[in-house]
Structure 1
Amino acid sequence: MRSTILITAPTSTIGRELVGELLERGARLRLLARDPSALSADVRERAEVMTGSHGDADVIDRACEGVEAVFWLSPNLPEAVTVDDSFAGFARPAVDAFGRHGVKRVVGISALGRGTPQAKHAGPVTATLALDDLIAGCGVAYRALTCPSLMHNLLNHVGSIREQGAFFMTIDPELKAPTVAARDVAATSARLLLDTEWSGAGEVPCLGPEDLSPNDWARTISDVLGTPVRYEQIPSAAMVERMVGFGFSPAMAQGMADMFEAKNAGLDNAEPRTADATTPTTFRAWCEAVLKPTVEA
């Protein structure tokens, strides 16, 4: 009999890719979603679906019953009073449920930088690494998929790319760093969730195939779209002000600014690039498959 795998955040970018990958491999899935209608009809027919938040103690307790493995993705809670509330604070009821129900393996989405000076004051990265310690400390076998910035984060800039021919961040325009496609992170997650042989706690880096700078991104985007697109670096204070205007709490907005400052100081560059850490999807391939259709929609 196939064991059940619980997928949290199945409607997220990584979650959607992961659900599709696991269903294709014949996995038995339980999906926990706040809004199940956001799942396709085909997915709802092929998987068990529960409604609710994986931060709700009663909901996650029911969701973990009879489950052997869990995919964990913490949400980004813009209104959180502290950054920890969006990560370890959000996950504490789930960690209790893992132990109560005898969950054997958990795969979680994490960040690069453990052990570096930059990770001590890196907002969501610092909080994510603390979450990894919390999960690993509860006795389950745990693998943290340590990722740099995801390519799909550029979809937040589609409006300015389309209307202004530009995208704006606080990252150094010439800083070459890894970036990874969500579908590659999902593929690694699927492999680990289906593998029953690993134990203990550890990290699995997912670095994409190459290190690129924001100016490199702009050149590739321009080439793929067939129109000039430039990158402009903005001050951290301007980003914080803009995020607060979009409804982020001051703590969450400042945490994001701190994270990007840590990345500028080399946070994502400390992990050595190995064959195992290198994932296949290039930035150009992602732009052709995802960014271009979105910009042109």
Structure 2
Amino acid sequence: MIVITTPTGDIGSQVLTNLLSADEELRVIVRDPAKLPDTVRDRVDIVTGSHADEEVVGKAFAGANAVFWLVPPNDQAPSEEAMYSGFTQAAARAFPAYGVSHVVGISALGRGTPVAGQAGLVTASLAMDDLIASTGVAYRALANPSFMDNLLRQVDSIRDNGVFTDTALADRPAPSAATRDIAAVAARLLLDRSWTGVESVPVLGPEELSANDMARIMSEVLGRPVRYEREPFDAFAARLTGFGLGDAFVQGMVDMMRAKDEGLDDGVRRTEATASPTTFRQWCEQVLKPAVLG
């Protein structure tokens, strides 16, 4: 039995899709089962509620061998610790109590870098990894850079203004990964379960690209000019606050983005084992272009 959290989210839904063809019993934890596709709802066992809730995870983990763990964003949490380790406390108690042997979690790059301790949401995510590891389960933390798919939040600006923004230096190369590749790695690990101990599994994408590189590729794929505009950190914070996001979340985002500019994602070398296959150009052709032109 494999338990999947966030089965209607971007990564969780793709993990679930990848596992549906496998010869495994599947159980999902979901707040609103109606959001599951009809074709999925009849093929999985459903536990309704939040995976931060002790009763919910107890019901979900009973008889389970493996768990896909992803903490959903909570932009109103009182602290970064509450967002990640606080949310995970009930599950951390339940893993050994119910005999869960393997956990695959969504985490971030940065462990071991000089800025890891001041990286906001990433620092909190790494502390969550430590909490899960302390339970004695075999744990694989998928250490991810920024997601290519985050650009989908800027589809309107790309389509209407030919502009996308970020806080990164325009010419600073950095890794990025497609969420579909991250989901594929998670599904593979959940099905294999021959692994033991605790490790980070980097998912780096196949290349380093700067924001200017991305703008050039988007322009070529979309057949229209796209340019990058760097957003100052104070403007970035003000914009998030203007959306009604809580102070802890905003500060965690700012600290994370500043740490990325200072080398947070640069600590792992790309190898055949750490590279994921989808190039940014492929992602633009297959995901971004339909979203912009559709």
Q: Given the two structures, how large is their TM-score scaled by the length of structure 2?
A: 0.98
Matched, 1:47 2:44: yes
Matched, 1:224 2:221: yes
**1:51: how far off?**
1.4
Give the equivalent residue in structure 2 for 1:83.
80
**1:109: how far off?**
0.6
- The amino acid across from 1:63 in the alignment is A
Cα distance in structure 1, aligned partners of 2:112 and 2:282: 32
**1:229: how far off?**
0.8
Q: Which runs of 4+ in 1 moved over 3 A?
A: none
Q: Secondary structure at the match of 2:217?
A: helix
Cα distance in structure 2, aligned partners of 1:19 and 1:256: 28
Q: Deviations over 1:109-157 (max 9, x none)?
A: 1111111111110111000000000000011110001010011111111
Give the equivalent residue in structure 1 for 2:126.
129
Matched, 1:100 2:97: yes
Cα distance in structure 1, aligned partners of 2:224 and 2:18: 34
Matched, 1:59 2:56: yes
Cα distance in structure 2, aligned partners of 1:242 and 1:27: 44
Cα distance in structure 2, aligned partners of 1:206 and 1:27: 25
Cα distance in structure 1, aligned partners of 2:82 and 2:158: 32
Matched, 1:257 2:238: no
Give the equivalent residue in structure 2 for 1:163.
160
Give the equivalent residue in structure 2 for 1:7.
4
Q: Which moved more, 1:95-104 or 1:19-28?
A: 19-28
Give the equivalent residue in structure 2 for 1:289.
286
Query: What aligned pairs does 1:271-290 form with structure 2 within 5 A after superposition?
Result: 271-290=268-287
**1:74: how far off?**
0.7
Give the equivalent residue in structure 1 for 2:112.
115
**1:196: how far off?**
2.4
Unaligned runs of 5+ in 1: none
Cα distance in structure 1, aligned partners of 2:48 and 2:244: 25
RMSD of equivalent CA atoms: 0.9
Cα distance in structure 1, aligned partners of 2:78 and 2:249: 7
* Kept after mapping to 1: 8 A contact 2:113/2:263: no
Unaligned runs of 5+ in 2: none
Query: What aligned pairs does 1:235-246 form with structure 2 within 5 A after superposition?
Result: 235-246=232-243
Q: Secondary structure at the match of 1:142?
A: strand
* Kept after mapping to 1: 8 A contact 2:120/2:251: yes
Give the equivalent residue in structure 1 for 2:30.
33
Give the equivalent residue in structure 2 for 1:206.
203
Q: Secondary structure at the match of 1:11?
A: coil
Q: Deviations over 1:77-109 (max 9, x none)?
A: 011111111111111011111111010000001
Cα distance in structure 2, aligned partners of 1:21 and 1:254: 35
Cα distance in structure 2, aligned partners of 1:196 and 1:244: 42
Give the length in aligned residue pairs: 294
Cα distance in structure 1, aligned partners of 2:285 and 2:43: 30
Cα distance in structure 2, aligned partners of 1:91 and 1:6: 15
Matched, 1:186 2:188: no
- The amino acid across from 1:210 in the alignment is E
Cα distance in structure 1, aligned partners of 2:15 and 2:33: 16
Cα distance in structure 2, aligned partners of 1:183 and 1:174: 26
Q: Given the two structures, how large is their TM-score scaled by the length of structure 1?
A: 0.97
Cα distance in structure 2, aligned partners of 1:151 and 1:268: 14
Counting aligned pairs with the same residue, the percent is 52
* Kept after mapping to 1: 8 A contact 2:204/2:276: yes
